[in-house]
Amino acid sequence: MITNTENLEGFCMKKILVITPFCLGRVPFYEWLEGSDTELYLLIGEESIHQNMNVSPRFILSKFKEYHYFTNFRKNSLVVQKAVEIIKEHGITHLIGIDEHGLERVGKLRDMFDIPGQRFSSAHAYRNKKVMKTYLKDKVDMAAWEAGNSVVDLIEHVNNFGFPCVYKDVDGAGSIGTKVISSEEKLAGVVADYEQGKEFLVEEFIDGNMYHVDGFYQDGEIKFIWASYYYNDCLSYQVNKPLGSIFVDKDSADLRTLKILTEKVLKNLPSPDATTFHAEFWKTQDGKFVFCEIGSRCGGGGIWETINYSMNIDLWKVHVQAQAGIEPDFENVIHEPEDTWGWYLIPPKKGVLMSLPKACTIKGVEDYQVQGVIGTEYTNPTGSVAMVQQFVTKTNGDKEMKSLFTVIDDWVENQNLWYMNN
């Protein structure tokens, strides 16, 4: 396999294949990667072509030498077949993949063609919670867990832990498939939904608040890191409550502890040469931090936007550029913000969305994004980052931030209009 080629002038030509379900209006790969020494190729989800576009899709797609789009992108095996064809035909030198659900298949393609970047073994350790927690055994404090792949395993593990305990798909993301089992009735519901043969974990229930740590790791060092704590929690969507997040104070001992713990996690996993990361920890009632899980990708919800606004670093951009062999620029990054920043997501209700505001003038709201589509019939949310509105917020301290979230709640309740077909 030829992994790089030279053009007529004699310099090394980068040939970059982007494999993504993300819309190009939100993640402008072409802006971050294009140059006189670069050829771009694209495989993308069909539904992403026209989403959030401020310019013509035809103009954006013209930036790619070749592009193909697919329905059901994340599960469509034809994506891999087409990737193999393009790699062979054009001598692709770099693969770009930042979607959590696609990290393993991109890693396998890198293995197959000896392309630099995160390999399958690394992606698998970050995606598969059983593998991840096996690597980290005795390295950091974590909830006790047992893995299984049958209903018998499920019932046995729940009996071992007792109520409450937690069920998780071994490769779940966005809290999808995660359930607290607190009674025989709840267990019966999980058993009824269980797909035979699917791998899962049953974990000890940790009573505490959830924190998340986000940043960029390169060549064995953390180049950027910050911590926040969730307002409500990542399972709040199951009772149709908003999910929010608030920065940890820059002088907090919690921030220092979380930085140390996250570095320990990164160094004890088969981490790639360069990656963004999104780690989660519980803080128990006695002040102890317990590891939950980590992903080698940007955090969801409003994490990317909030860090970009407050600290002048685009984590998606640096991740994409690092995968393409472009050295990220940290010169103007703010490593310790003076203000308290946060984000807040409003989940959909079960019904038809009739109207919602196009703009928000509430003091402290720095960015307001409308994701809901008028006239669409929604079901109850199925994941932690399902939303119709997103707010990026800035205040003077977390007490003021929590008050702002309450103001947003009242505003949304008065402004949004749903038709509930009961």
| Contact between 23 and 48 (Cβ < 8 Å) | yes
Question: Where a domain ends, among 204, 220, 247?
Answer: 204
136: in domain: no
Average pLDDT value for residue range 275-301: 97
Q: Which of 188, 162, 158, 190 is nearest to 177 (CA)?
A: 190
Residue where a domain terminates, one of 164, 179, 204:
204
376 CB neighbour count, 10 Å cutoff: 11
Residue 8 has pLDDT above 50, yes or no: no
Whether residue 7 lies inside any domain: the answer is no
Same domain, yes or no, for 188 and 161? yes
Domain match, 162 and 280 both: no
Pair 23, 164 in one domain:
no
Q: Are residues 259 and 378 in the same domain?
A: yes
Residues 214 and 198 occupy one common structural domain: no
Residue 320 contacts by C-beta under 8 Å, 6 or more apart in sequence?
Answer: 27, 29, 32, 33, 96, 98
Give the chain's mean pLDDT.
Answer: 93
77: helix, strand or coil? coil
Cβ pair 139, 126 in contact under 8 A: no
Q: Does the residue 131 lie in any domain?
A: no
Note the pLDDT of residue 4. 42
- 334 domain-assigned: yes
Residues 321 and 286 in one domain: yes
CA 122 to centroid of chain Cα atoms? 17
The tally of domains found in the chain comes to 3
Residue 179 lies in a domain: yes
Please indicate, yes or no, if residue 166 is contained in any of the structural domains: yes
Which one has a higher pLDDT value, 5 or 71?
A: 71
Q: 145-183, pLDDT tens digit by residue?
A: 999 999 999 999 999 999 999 999 999 887 778 999 999
Q: Are strands 94-96 and 12-20 parallel, antiparallel or unpaired?
A: parallel
| Separate counts of helices (H) and strands (E) for the chain | 12, 20
Q: Residue 247 is encoded by which pair of tokens?
A: 């920065």
In a domain, 174, yes or no: yes
Q: pLDDT tens across 63-100, in order?
A: 999 999 999 999 999 999 999 999 999 999 999 999 99
| Co-location of 244 and 370 in the same domain | yes
Query: Which CATH number is 403's domain given?
Result: 3.30.470.20
Q: Which residues constitute the domain of residue 276?
A: 208-420
Q: Per the domain annotation, does 381 fall within a domain?
A: yes
Kindly report the pTM of this predicted structure.
Answer: 0.93
